Chain A
Amino acid sequence: MSTDTSSDTSSGSSTETSARRDDREPAWLLVTRREIVSRITDKSFLIGTALMIVMIVGFIGFTAWQDEKTETATLGATPEAMAMATAIKDNAADVDDKLKVTLVELDDEDAAKTALREEDVDAWLHPVDGGWELTSESSEQDSLTDVARVVVRQQVLADNAAGVGSTVQALEAGSTVSTDFLRGDAEKAGVAEAVGFVFVFLFYFSALIFGMQLASSVIEEKQSRIVEIIAAAIPLRHLLAGKVLGNTALAVIQLLVYLAVGLVGLSFTPYKSYVPSLSGPTVWFLGFFLAGFVALACLWAVAGSLASRTEDLQATSTPLTMLMLAMFFGGLSLEGRGQVIASFLPPVSAVVMPKRILAGGVAWWEPLVALGLLALFAGATVWVGERLYRRALLQTGGRVSLRQAWSAAE
């Protein structure tokens, strides 16, 4: 009797279930959404992101302010030095565009010394035997000194040249050394170097933060055994895929925000002329980040699944943190042939190739090959990671070794 009832209700509910299954979201998508929603509603994540944006804006703002900042200096001169002081004032902008000079006329030496002591003037210009002297209270007037030196020299040179019936231009003819760089100019190389550092740092930072987060969320599920409920409902492959996709999406979105803030910020600074030439390498960087992050994310998930408590994560993730450190320092320090080799070698290529692209001189096929190799590597870690994760996740009681996880029966 009871068996009859059971088969009735059950067959009814199973057809209902299969009807429902069609318009239902796939399991991996549900997992992805939970990962993203639970993370972006997490206060510490939001605060961390906001803090990072403030830091980026602050850093760019500070640099720009440093660059734009103009200095003013008050130059005192007695009547016999007034002509020379006026020349310094008028020519200051040509020598140092951040220095503005104002003039104060002083009656005599005593008045000059008093003015210096009372800080009415920053420096006092006066002629001495065989030249000129700039007296100031301390040695803080470097910019003014530099300007004075150049202007005085020009003035005196011009006077002397006129004395022998020539001109400064004639005397200096043929003495210039001009510069020409095959790989762009020094400032451009400097910008490439700085942006390269930012790329390497961002990759390291994101992969570490999101990797750790991914691993600890795997442990959270394993430790609380909710994974058993999930495993009974959906294939673990979907759980892993959802977690990796969710965290990758979050990492990429966060990175896009940082890069956008950085590039927009940069466009308000004197370096704005470099922004267009940075967008190409930035797009490449995103591509490399995506492939590199997916590869590492699977490994982080494995590190999480090998641990059985949060305390174990330190141990199970050590090989990964080592790898990440190697990528970080490799990305920063490799030069020449080593850099070229590393730019094709996954996963280090994820940071080294974008850096090479920034520096310039990379053939069009090189990033493509490197990205292809990195994608292959990511495919391999996904395959290996999936097997390890699936087997280690449901093993309870202590840490699981890689060998155990690989050979464990399911």
Chain B
Amino acid sequence: MLEIRELTRRFGENTAVDHVSFEVPAGQMTGFVGANGAGKTTTMRMVMGVLGIDGGEVLWKGQPITRLDRRSFGYMPEERGLYPKQPIIDQLVYVAQLKGMERTAARAAVAELLERFGLGERTKDHLEKLSLGNQQRVQIIASVLPRPAALILDEPFSGLDPVAVDSMVDLLREYTRDGIPVLFSSHQLDLVERLCDRLVVLAQGRRVAAGTVSELRDAGVPRFRLVLGGDAGWVRDQGGLEVLDLDGTTALVEVQQEGAEQRLVAEATRRGDVHEFVRVRPALSEIYREATA
């Protein structure tokens, strides 16, 4: 498990990351969301030791993280590009060797990954000769070499076509199945919702929400939708509730006093038919919008 504790980074007067804490549990995918400039990239760079830390700490398996630990991590920086004028196999082997792999093992691992991403025929091509999507695939391979102990990926899905997104997702799932913690940032909330076990939301350098997706969706003030046989106008007069929307037989209410929703159901059944009474959980995009507002 990777733990981030009270991490802080200032650039002059500006506090880019302000006492941010969260966890990336083993075998889980943690999505990192927030507007541009919220501090996601700065946080990830501090975790990877690429940027100095002004306050707080990063723990790996309960101990302060070391350079050797970080070396075993897979990391994909925000803006990317490897060496444009070098054959892709050569530069991937180079990166793998820098991360401590032995040459023959590195070649085998690189060849296997290139094959898997459909680049098996193009190993000798210069990076600049590949399409943007294929360059992105090469970048992904660079970040998962060698078999990483943890993955820190900054916007790994940006610029990928749907097929590449799927092979990336498959690859990430393979790693989480093996118990590897994965932290990735993204602007694509639908993707985050589909993939992530957990979510961390940053706004202006502060953590504004964190937890599993269902925890977050359950976290706010509970809302219920009520659909009746007859007119729902009387709901306005019920105590302990705020009516958010009222349209003929349908009412959307927010519970302000505990138990008020139970009294509402009792009153509704007394008055006539109840077609539907359901808890409404906000979509992730809504939570995100509220949290970062």
Contact = CB atoms under 8 A, between A and B. Distances in A.
Contact of A224 (B68, B80, B99): B80
Contacts of B71: 17, 232-234
B178 interface: yes
Given A3-B26, A6-B179, A42-B85, A232 B61 contact: no
A231 B49 contact: yes
A10 B86 CA distance: 32
A13 B147 contact: yes
Contact of A229 (B100, B102, B142): B142
A137 interface: no
B27 A5 contact: yes
A217 to B, nearest CB: 9
Nearest to B102: A20
B27 A23 contact: no
B149 A232 contact: no
Interface string B68-94: 101111011111111111100010001
Contact of A10 (B61, B68, B80): B61
A225 B77 contact: yes
A228 B48 contact: yes
A2 interface: yes
A409 B99 CA distance: 25
Interface in B182-196: none
Contacts of B39: none
Interface in A303-357: none
Contact of A226 (B67, B83, B90): B83
Contacts of B81: 223-226
Interface stretch (A24-32, A89-97, A153-161, A173-181): A24-32
Contacts, number: 121
A225 B81 CA distance: 7
A70 to B, nearest CB: 51
Nearest to B150: A10
B79 A225 contact: yes
A38 B50 contact: no
Contacts of A6: 1, 26-27, 179-181
A27 B178 contact: no
A393 B102 CA distance: 27
Contact of B77 (A21, A229, A234, A409): A229
A175 B27 CA distance: 105
A24 B147 contact: no
B25 interface: yes
Given A3-B25, A228-B48, A232-B48, A38 B86 contact: yes
Contacts of B179: 2-6, 8-10
A243 to B, nearest CB: 13
Given A6-B27, A7-B61, A226 B72 contact: no
Nearest to B54: A409
Interface in A34-84: 34, 37-38, 42
Contact of B26 (A5, A14, A231, A409): A5
Contacts of B228: none
A230 interface: yes
B41 to A, nearest CB: 9
A44 B99 CA distance: 31
B280 interface: no
A239 B28 CA distance: 34
Given A2-B25, A3-B1, A13-B149, A230 B77 contact: no
Contacts of A226: 77, 80-83
A185 interface: no
B136 interface: no
A375 to B, nearest CB: 30
B141 to A, nearest CB: 12
Contact of A38 (B25, B85, B97, B181): B85
Contacts of B143: 229
B25 to A, nearest CB: 7
A133 interface: no
A232 B100 contact: no
A24 B98 CA distance: 9
A224 B52 contact: no
A230 B145 CA distance: 12
A34 B98 CA distance: 11
Contact of B45 (A24, A30, A228, A234): A228
Given A2-B28, A3-B179, A225-B78, A231 B50 contact: yes
A232 B75 contact: yes
A394 interface: yes
Contacts of A232: 48-50, 70-71, 73, 75
B97 A25 contact: yes
B160 interface: no
B101 interface: yes
Nearest to B78: A225
A7 B62 CA distance: 11
Contact of A34 (B26, B94, B102): B94
A224 B91 CA distance: 14
13 contacts: A3-B179, A6-B27, A10-B61, A24-B102, A27-B98, A38-B83, A223-B81, A225-B78, A225-B81, A226-B80, A228-B45, A230-B95, A233-B70
Which 3 interchain pairs have the tightest Cβ spacing? A224-B81, A2-B27, A6-B26
Interface of B: 1, 25-28, 45, 48-52, 54, 61, 67-68, 70-73, 75-86, 90, 94-95, 97-102, 105, 142-143, 147, 149, 178-181
Interface of A: 2-10, 13-14, 17, 20-21, 23-25, 27, 30-31, 34, 37-38, 42, 220, 223-226, 228-235, 394, 409-410
Given A14-B68, A20-B101, 17 more contacts: A4-B179, A5-B27, A7-B61, A14-B149, A17-B68, A17-B71, A17-B100, A21-B100, A31-B98, A34-B94, A37-B90, A223-B81, A224-B80, A228-B75, A232-B48, A233-B99, A409-B52
